[in-house]
Amino acid sequence: MKHILLCDDDVTILRAVEIKLTRAGYRVTCCGDGQAAYDSIQRELPDMIISDCQMPRLGGLELVRKLRSEEATCLVPFLMLTGKGFELPLEDLRRDYAVLDVMAKPFSPREILHIVETTLTASVT
Amino acid sequence: MTLLRQLTLGFFLLAIGVTCGTGWLALRAAEQHGAVTFAAIVAGITLGAATWQMFVVERDRREHLAARRFLEHLLRYGEPGCGAAVSLDTLPAITAGSVWEEPLKKTFDYFSSFQDRRLMLENARAAADIRLQRLTSQVEWMESVLSNLGDPVLAVNAYDEIILANRDAESLLRLRPMVTDKRRLPPIVGCERLTNMIHEVRRRTSATLRHEELELEDATGHKRWYRASAGKLPLANDVSQDSGAVLVLRDITTQRSMQKQHAEFVSSASHEMKAPLAGIKAYVELLADGDAADEAEREEFLGVINGQADRLQRLIDNLLNIARIEAGVVKVSKQSRSINEILVEAAQVAQPAAEAKHITLVSDLSPLYLGALVDRDMLLQAAINLLSNAVKYTPDGGRVTLRSRLADQELLIEVEDTGVGLSEEDCRLIFEKFYRVDKDKNMAAGTGLGLALAKHIAEDVHGGKLTVRSKLGVGSTFSISIPHVARTN
């Protein structure tokens, strides 16, 4: 069972995506901020990370920067969620941190599931 | 005695001598020859001729004197400020046909035309003086307007020489020591974009303006934003000729900062709105996809949707209230009210939330009548916001105290909690719109507008003050102070 780490300070969103992915057969670990996510990744490396951008303690950008600087986590697929509209430079994120995509809120859990399935299927093949 | 008079007198004496000599010779001849009568006639003729000669000499002398007086008069007349009038009437004193008549008339005509020309020149000089004075005052007026304009203004001619620069331009573009040297533009302005602008408008064939926004360092070394407008200088009727350009810079730092604040506000507001909207969308989709495992989960999803819709509603209400207060269009209806009555009502509203978290809500209200001129609904809203925040950020089983008291000439409303507390930085920023303490975000849903609204209500609407004292991990006390109104009945 593929393991996905989900990180958002908004519990409502966290729960909605968790339900969607769990129902699709993925194992999901939920974290409320970037630091908790980072600690969890140190304990167990997930197959994919989905993280919000603005979070207390450690934001999504700092998290991906930190993960990409470490050998063990530099290749884990990373999907960024954001409530901001135009402030995030997607191209830079793709180029510098290999971020799969930046999904602006309000997003569709269905769409997230689709990206997860596509990414994880591709990584298997 | 003049030479002419000496000559005349000499000639006269010579004539008398000759006449007497001729008479004496005639008498001697008559004695000898008996021609007494002849001698007498010759003597008479000689005497007559001498008398006529005397008359002619005397007339010439008088004409000469008259002519001299006339000329002296004319000379005086020619002196500025003399005021003496000379006319040809003075000429009849000179005998018509005299040798003096023609030269004197010509001289008089010359002096007359000279006088006319002099008068004309004097008038022209007076007019020029007035024009010069008017132009000088216009230039002074223009210089005064330009220096007090507050915007740097700079003009260059077709040779890139600075022909005008007001005080602000000299200071901003560091021109002062260079203007007098008539230095060329590029090394003076030292800003390529401004120089290019000026060159570009000078090449244009029509007098159109070019605008650009750019950042420059002011005299104090601070970077400020300017809107530069450059236009071709008009030259008579031919704008196609290069006659220089004028550049006006307007400081738009405040404007840009306000635009930035506005953009940040819109960004924050949309960010805050997207959060509940994302929740609603996600849960509606889960329901539509049949992701609810059972009826209980379906109910849970619907509850989340409802809660998120309420959050959105609160956010919009708060945003509108803040916008109305900030724009000054809110209808404030102030009346003398009992503060305690309003606080009791606020406590009743907050009570259910406090009970749900097992928080003790204590009302420690003053036994005195505390009257103030307030808008009841607004003050109630502010008190509810403070109480609701205290309940939200106080852990289960904590304590929230609502207090009212009279201090000096002010009424104090205090909401004290045993909650998570705020850092010094949080205390400073907590009243900013959309500011939420990161570490406490997950304790409760919030819009980040409740305290900003309460501050507006306390300060802008009631002329009071909203402050906070807090200690991390111990709790916070929010205080509203408003002017006291003594009971009149």
- Domain boundary (B251, B275, B299) is at B251
Q: Where are the beta strands (DSSP E) in B196-296?
A: 210-217, 223-232, 245-251
Closest CA to B344 of B373, B395, B379, B314: B379
E strand or H helix at A105, and its extent? none
| Residue B109 within any structural domain of the chain | yes
CB contact under 8 Å between A84 and B438, yes or no, is: no
CB contact under 8 Å between A17 and B283, yes or no, is: no
Statement to judge: residues B138 and B172 lie in one domain: no
Go through chain B and tell me how many residues it has: 489
CA of A111, closest CA in chain B: separation in Å?
10
CA B471, CA B389: separation in Å to the nearest integer?
16
- Domain boundary (B251, B278, B308) is at B251
- Domain boundary (B327, B346, B381) is at B327
Tokens of B484: 């006291």
CATH number (domain holding residue B242) = 3.30.450.20
Measured between CB atoms, does B306 come within 8 Å of chain A?
no
The pLDDT assigned to B443 comes to 67
Tokens of B410: 């002010």
Backbone angles phi, psi at A84, to 5 degrees: -85, 155
Q: Which of A9, A10, A109 sits opposite B285 (nearest CB)?
A: A109
The pLDDT assigned to B489 comes to 47
Q: Using an 8 Å Cβ cutoff, are B272 and B315 in contact? A: yes
| Residue B407 within any structural domain of the chain | yes
CB contact under 8 Å between A106 and B282, yes or no, is: yes
Q: Where are the beta strands (DSSP E) in B192-289?
A: 210-217, 223-232, 245-251
CA B427, CA B345: separation in Å to the nearest integer?
27
Statement to judge: residues B181 and B274 lie in one domain: no
Which domains can be identified in chain A, with CATH numbers?
3-124 (3.40.50.2300)
The pLDDT assigned to A85 comes to 61
Give the torsion sign (CA, B317, B320, B325, B328): negative
**Domain span at residue B179?**
149-251
Q: Which of B279, B285, B441 sits opposite A108 (nearest CB)?
A: B285
Q: Order of strands across the sheet with B162-165?
A: B162-165, B153-156, B245-251, B223-232, B210-217
CA B285, CA B292: separation in Å to the nearest integer?
10
Statement to judge: residues B232 and B281 lie in one domain: no
| Residue B488 within any structural domain of the chain | no
CATH number (domain holding residue B446) = 3.30.565.10
CA of A32, closest CA in chain B: separation in Å?
8
Q: Which of B275, B286, B308 sits opposite A109 (nearest CB)?
A: B286
Side-chain-facing half-sphere of B159: CA atoms under 13 Å: 4
Cβ count within 10 A of residue A33: 23
CB contact under 8 Å between B275 and A83, yes or no, is: yes
Mutate to test the interface with A, among B285, B297, B315, B436 (most CBs of A within 10 A): B285
| Residue B434 within any structural domain of the chain | yes
CB-neighbour burial class of residue B260 (10 A; exposed 0-12, middle 13-18, buried 19+): exposed
CATH number (domain holding residue B261) = 1.10.287.130
| Residue B167 within any structural domain of the chain | yes
Statement to judge: residues B102 and B20 lie in one domain: yes
Q: Order of strands across the sheet with A78-82?
A: A27-31, A3-7, A48-52, A78-82, A99-104
| Residue B489 within any structural domain of the chain | no
Statement to judge: residues B320 and B438 lie in one domain: no
Statement to judge: residues B235 and B349 lie in one domain: no
Statement to judge: residues B240 and B278 lie in one domain: no
User: Would you give the DSSP letter of residue B334?
Assistant: -
Measured between CB atoms, does B77 come within 8 Å of chain A?
no
Statement to judge: residues B140 and B156 lie in one domain: no
Q: Using an 8 Å Cβ cutoff, are B455 and B432 in contact? A: no
| Residue B344 within any structural domain of the chain | yes
Give per-10-residue mean pLDDT for chain B (489 aa): 68 79 73 68 79 85 82 69 56 64 81 83 94 92 85 86 84 68 61 85 82 87 90 68 85 87 78 86 92 88 91 84 79 88 92 88 91 90 92 91 90 94 89 76 70 90 92 93 71
Measured between CB atoms, does B192 come within 8 Å of chain A?
no
CA B169, CA B191: separation in Å to the nearest integer?
13
List, in order, residues 6 or more apart from A33 with CB less than 8 Å away: A7, A9, A55, A56, A57, A58
Go through chain A and tell me how many residues it has: 125
Q: Which of A9, A56, A106 sits opposite B274 (nearest CB)?
A: A106
Say how far residue B196 (Cα) sits from the centre of its chain. Answer: 27
CA of A83, closest CA in chain B: separation in Å?
5
CA B188, CA B97: separation in Å to the nearest integer?
79
Q: Which of B270, B283, B438 sits opposite A16 (nearest CB)?
A: B283
Measured between CB atoms, does B279 come within 8 Å of chain A?
yes
Statement to judge: residues B220 and B236 lie in one domain: yes
Closest CA to B280 of A74, A76, A106, A83: A106
Number of H helices and E strands in chain B, helices first, is 13, 12
User: Which residues in chain A have their CB less than 8 angstroms from residue B280's CB?
Assistant: 106
Q: Using an 8 Å Cβ cutoff, are A93 and A100 in contact? A: no
CA B42, CA B45: separation in Å to the nearest integer?
5
Number of domains in chain B: 4
The pLDDT assigned to B187 comes to 62
Statement to judge: residues B467 and B426 lie in one domain: yes
User: Which residues in chain A have their CB less than 8 angstroms from residue B281's CB?
Assistant: 106-108
CA B321, CA B325: separation in Å to the nearest integer?
6
Pairing mode, strands A48-52 and A78-82: parallel
CA B31, CA B328: separation in Å to the nearest integer?
146
Instruction: Name residues of chain A where pLDDT drops below 50.
Output: none
Closest CA to B435 of B424, B444, B443, B446: B446
The pLDDT assigned to B180 comes to 52
Mutate to test the interface with B, among A7, A12, A107 (most CBs of B within 10 A): A12
The pLDDT assigned to B447 comes to 67
| Residue B419 within any structural domain of the chain | yes
Statement to judge: residues B356 and B470 lie in one domain: yes
Reported ipTM: the value is 0.89
Angle at B484 between CA B478 and CA B489, to 5 degrees: 140
E strand or H helix at B209, and its extent? none
Statement to judge: residues B440 and B307 lie in one domain: no
